[in-house]
């Protein structure tokens, strides 16, 4: 009867040895390769530090004008530009300028990184059933595994700092972009693709001339999601040494500073809204052909 009462688990000694084995072999791995991997990410770190310094050291009016111009280029809407400028003025007035700039820097770099890996990966998935089968479960893991769990090996490998933070943000933020790029390309009308074939388009011409342009609404939704999710990740990333708005939030949580937490939390929200509105307006502008479906 003993069999039914307690689950026939591994004995304690064995389990301990297994865990020890994994831990020590990973430690071994990070000891021998950690430095190499760190060197590999060196340029990324330089770029991030450079961008952060640029944003923090530049006179604040210049930064605001720069952001306003970007918002205008993206959205072509004066309302949105005015809202953006006011939001940044308020953030600065409440003393969160430096942290906001640091967050802006890491979000920008993380988004660029996600786009440069996520879109090609999504395209690859769309072109091959086998790749889709292989990558989908990996994306599932990336999206559902508690972020603290993958922070452990990242920190073991790279220590505490900006780069591990960046990697953690990307692991969390890249899946929707990959998924939506894949979906968008798969949803392109088969008849339109057949027409491209019938006129003798090769794979490249089909991809860049038909599939990607028609998948853009989905790809843009993916980019948008990636930005939102990396902003959400900023607080957790601050636990492993990323500067920015997440750090004061973390301090507020451990010390029960309501106002500090609220202010910085709201600043993250404001950034998110600005990013979202501008990127969506830009996406819509790329889709001019979808407007005005009325007949003449």
199 binds another protein (CB under 8 A): yes
Residue 32 or 293 having the CB closest to another protein: 293
Residue 294 touches another protein, criterion: CB under 8 A? yes
What DSSP assignment string belongs to 171-207? Answer: HHHHHHHHHHHHHHHHTS-HHHHHHHHHTT--HHHHI
Q: Could you give the angle at the alpha carbon of 280 between the alpha carbons of 137 and 87, nearest 5°?
A: 115
Among 17, 197, 253, 269, binds another protein (CB under 8 A): 197
Does 93 participate in binding another protein (rule CB under 8 A)?
no
- Does 5 bind another protein (CB under 8 A)? Our answer is no
Output the smallest distance, CB 42 to another protein, in A: 40
Q: Which one of 1, 62, 258, 288 is in contact with another protein (CB under 8 A)?
A: 288
HEC per residue, 101-147: HHHHHHHHHHHHHHHHHHHHHHHHHHHCHHHHHHHHHHHHHHHHCCH
Of residues 228, 212, 177, the one with CA closest to residue 286: 212
Q: How far apart are CA 74 and CA 286, in angstroms?
A: 10
Q: Is 144 among the residues that bind another protein (CB under 8 A)?
A: no
Nearest Cα to Cα of residue 275 among 220, 238, 214: 220
Query: Which one among 95, 209, 262, 269 touches another protein, defined by CB under 8 A?
Result: 209
Q: Does 189 bind another protein (CB under 8 A)?
A: yes
Given a contact cutoff of 8 angstroms between Cβ atoms, the answer to whether 251 and 80 are in contact is no
Assess 129 for contact with another protein (CB under 8 A): no
Window contacting another protein (CB under 8 A); options: 36-44, 86-94, 178-186, 198-206: 198-206
Minimum Å gap between C-beta 184 and another protein is 13
Binding-site ranges for another protein (CB under 8 A): 189, 191-192, 194-202, 205, 209-210, 213-214, 287-290, 292-296
């Amino acid at each position: 009867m003993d069999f039914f009462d307690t689950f026939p688990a591994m004995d304690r000694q064995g389990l301990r040895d297994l865990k020890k084995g994994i831990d020590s072999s990973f430690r071994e791995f990070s000891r021998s390769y950690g430095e190499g991997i760190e060197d590999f990410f060196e340029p990324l770190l330089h770029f991030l530090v450079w961008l952060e310094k640029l944003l923090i050291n530049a006179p604040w009016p210049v930064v605001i004008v720069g952001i306003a111009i970007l918002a205008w280029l993206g959205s072509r809407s004066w309302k949105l530009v005015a809202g953006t400028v006011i939001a940044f003025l308020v953030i600065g007035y409440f003393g969160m300028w430096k942290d906001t700039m640091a967050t802006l820097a890491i979000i920008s770099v993380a988004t660029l990184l996600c786009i440069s890996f996520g879109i090609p990966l999504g395209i690859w998935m769309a072109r091959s059933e086998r790749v889709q089968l292989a990558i989908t479960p990996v994306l599932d893991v990336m999206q559902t595994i508690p972020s603290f769990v993958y922070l452990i090996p990242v920190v073991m490998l790279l220590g505490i700092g900006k780069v591990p933070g960046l990697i953690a943000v990307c692991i969390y933020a890249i899946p929707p972009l990959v998924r939506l790029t894949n979906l968008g390309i798969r949803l392109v009308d088969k008849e339109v693709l057949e027409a491209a074939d019938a006129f003798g388009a090769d794979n490249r011409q089909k991809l860049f001339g038909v599939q990607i342009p028609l998948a853009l609404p989905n790809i843009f939704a993916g980019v948008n999601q990636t930005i939102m999710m990396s902003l959400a990740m900023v607080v957790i990333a601050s636990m492993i040494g990323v500067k920015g708005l997440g750090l004061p939030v973390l301090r507020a949580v451990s010390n029960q500073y309501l106002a500090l937490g609220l202010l910085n939390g709201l600043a993250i929200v404001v950034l998110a809204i600005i990013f979202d509105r501008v990127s969506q307006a830009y996406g819509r502008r790329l889709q001019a052909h979808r407007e005005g479906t009325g007949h003449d």
